[in-house]
Amino acid sequence: MYFLGIDVSTTATKALLMDRTGVVVGVGVAQYGFETPQPLWSEQHPNLWWAGTQNAIHAALQEASINPDEIASVGLTGQMHGLVLLDQSGRVLRKAILWNDQRTQPQCDEIHHLIGRKRFIQTTGNLALTGFTAPKILWVRENEPELYAQIAHILLPKDYVRLHLTGVYAMDKADGAGTVLMDIRERLWSDTLLEALNIPPEWLPPLFEGTQITGWITSEAAKVTGLRPGTPVIAGGGDQSAQAVGVGAVNSGIAALTLGTSGVIFTSTDQPFIEPEGRLHAFCHAVPGKWHLMGVMLSAAGSLRWYRDQFSPDLSYENLLKPAVDIAAGSEGLLFLPYLTGERTPHPDPLARGGFIGLTVRHGAAHCTRAVLEGVAFGLKDSFELLKASGVESIQQVRVSGGGAKSPLWRQILANVLDAELVTVNTTEGAAYGAAILAGVGVEHWNSVEGACESLIKITDSVTPHRAQVGTYQTLYGLYCQLYPALKPIFHQLAHI
């Protein structure tokens, strides 16, 4: 018996096959790009995801060398918030507007005006931010009215793949919460919000808990994917909640830190905690009946990738970071602001900008490299401190994953900056692995998500803070926190030049 997890991300679709003991037996990846046709815009054609899904499944099946009849179920995950618009026949009306698109600040302001900022936060658990789905819908209405008139269905990226796999319009509650059109306490679409924003409720699909069956592989999908017709497809979850399942962050007291292109601090809760100012994201979890709090920075490992690509494109990441090991904590007074694509937590500002502050002739490339690692760690500490102050159960452990977590130096810096133990676990495939776990629970191979995670996921390494460096970083973090308020007016002026 095997379980298939499919992760529809911004840059690739991954298909992962896991056996009944949690061992990964096959992985397939199909890469693609996205477009930035104007400043602040980010778009992608949904056909890329469906083609990528077919190719990734074939590659995973080939690597695993198994009979598709042995696959018991399929779980889905993927990039959150992307707006997929379909007409009555299911035809794509325009390229999807992605999670990292920043064009919709006027629509965010309009939502707060129509509903009231505090009321909106208390209903959805969030501010209306440019990355979310709801303001994108308003943008299309205001800027593309002829296209808007043809809308019959609204989906999120992974649910477009679900439609092709099953012929069913459906969405899980974790990803649905990221549209900011749900009442997260009730775990349902908010009739009040939909009426206030004049969005027809029939455009939105039925909502399911993360382990519920939403449909079955059709004969048409089976022909192009190689899967067995009738294989159950489980609801799954948005990439962050599935990632949390994939590292076992499904109980309170355990935080997940994802160090990917974006950076996320995530903790599960048994009830909906809503940060009064909306500085943290409060969503439904992919775990049935649970919620989560999440802080997001937009350029985490993405900051390091930008830095390497621009200044040392011929170096491997290992060789890039090696000289930074010998630089003292604090990079001799050099700070890096990681707002290369705007920011979310705690500064929801698409016009925030990055920068090195404190450069002198004493600073070389190794100082700059270390400053990038430290600046990202400070950005993640912003979210970590908000989580600790939110009233949720105290965080006992931080489980770190993502491409950036491969660096021992970066893990140690994070432990020092957060003043917390960081652990790695035996699962490294993140959201796709979480989707496979949800698929297994969905067909009752495991009784619960929590039980599956306890059985499958084990700690492999632990990093504890160096006490001498914790104090240094506390001082520097205090200075870091002053930079955005001081530079915000300049950022906004620069953005309009």
In a domain, 377, yes or no: no
Please give the residue that has the higher pLDDT: either 261 or 479.
479
Q: What is the DSSP-derived secondary structure letter of residue 227?
A: P
- Of residues 220 and 390, more confidently modeled: 220
* pLDDT (average), residues 274-295: 94
Average model confidence (pLDDT) across the chain: 95
**Residue corresponding to tokens 């469906």:** 50
How far apart are alpha carbons 412 and 421 in whole angstroms?
Answer: 9
Q: Which amino acid is at 16?
A: L
Q: Are strands 335-337 and 281-284 parallel, antiparallel or unpaired?
A: unpaired
Q: How many domains does the chain have?
A: 1
For the cut 80, the answer to whether the pLDDT of residue 257 exceeds it is yes
pLDDT at 261: 85
Kindly provide the residue ranges of all beta strands, DSSP E only, lying in 217-362, ordered along the sequence.
232-238, 254-259, 263-269, 281-284, 291-297, 335-337, 355-357
Q: Give yes or no for a contact between 2 and 19, defined as CB atoms under 8 angstroms apart.
A: yes
pTM for this prediction = 0.91
Query: 449 and 250 in contact (C-beta within 8 Å)?
Result: yes
Is 255 within a domain? no
Band (pLDDT 50/70/90 cuts) for residue 27 is very high
Give catalytic residue positions.
239
- Checking if the pLDDT of 402 tops 90, the result is no
Per-residue pLDDT reduced to its tens digit, 43-98: 999 999 999 999 999 999 999 999 999 999 999 999 999 999 999 999 999 999 99
Region of poorest pLDDT, from 326-335, 423-432, 460-469? 423-432
CATH of the domain at 79: 3.30.420.40
Q: Is the pLDDT of residue 391 over 90?
A: no
- CB–CB of 73/439 below 8 Å? yes
Distance CA 316, CA 456 (A): 32
pLDDT tens digit sequence for 341-387:
899 899 989 899 999 999 999 999 999 999 999 999 999 999 999 99
pLDDT tens by residue, 432-447: 999 999 999 999 999 9
Residue 412 forms part of a structural domain:
no
pLDDT at 61: 98
Report yes or no on 369 lying in a domain: no
Q: What is the predicted pLDDT for the residue at 396?
A: 82
- For residues 463-486, average pLDDT: 97
Is 403 among the domain residues?
no
Residue partners of 184: CB distance under 8 A and separation at least 6? 123, 124, 125, 177, 272, 274, 282, 283, 284, 291
Query: pLDDT > 70: what percent of the chain?
Result: 100
Domain-located, residue 210: yes
User: At 6, which helix (H) or strand (E)?
Assistant: strand 2-8
Quickly count: other Cβ atoms within 10 Å of residue 39's Cβ. 8
Residue type, 356: F
Helix %, strand %, coil % of the chain (to 5): 40, 20, 35
Angle of helix 105-115 relative to helix 117-124, nearest 10 degrees? 100
pLDDT band with cut points at 50, 70 and 90 for residue 281: very high
* Domain of 105, in residue numbers: 2-247
| CA atoms of 420 and 81, how far apart (whole Å) | 31
Residue 494 is assigned to a structural domain of this protein: no
pLDDT of amino acid 350: 86
Which pLDDT score is estimated for 252? 84
Q: How far apart are CA 147 and CA 149, in angstroms?
A: 5
Q: What is the pLDDT of residue 250?
A: 93
Band (pLDDT 50/70/90 cuts) for residue 149 is: very high
Q: How confident is the model at residue 496 (pLDDT cuts 50, 70, 90)?
A: confident
What length is written for the chain?
Answer: 497
Residue 47 DSSP SS3: helix
Domain presence at residue 416: no
Q: What is the pLDDT of residue 427?
A: 87
Q: CB of 383 within 8 A of CB of 291?
A: no
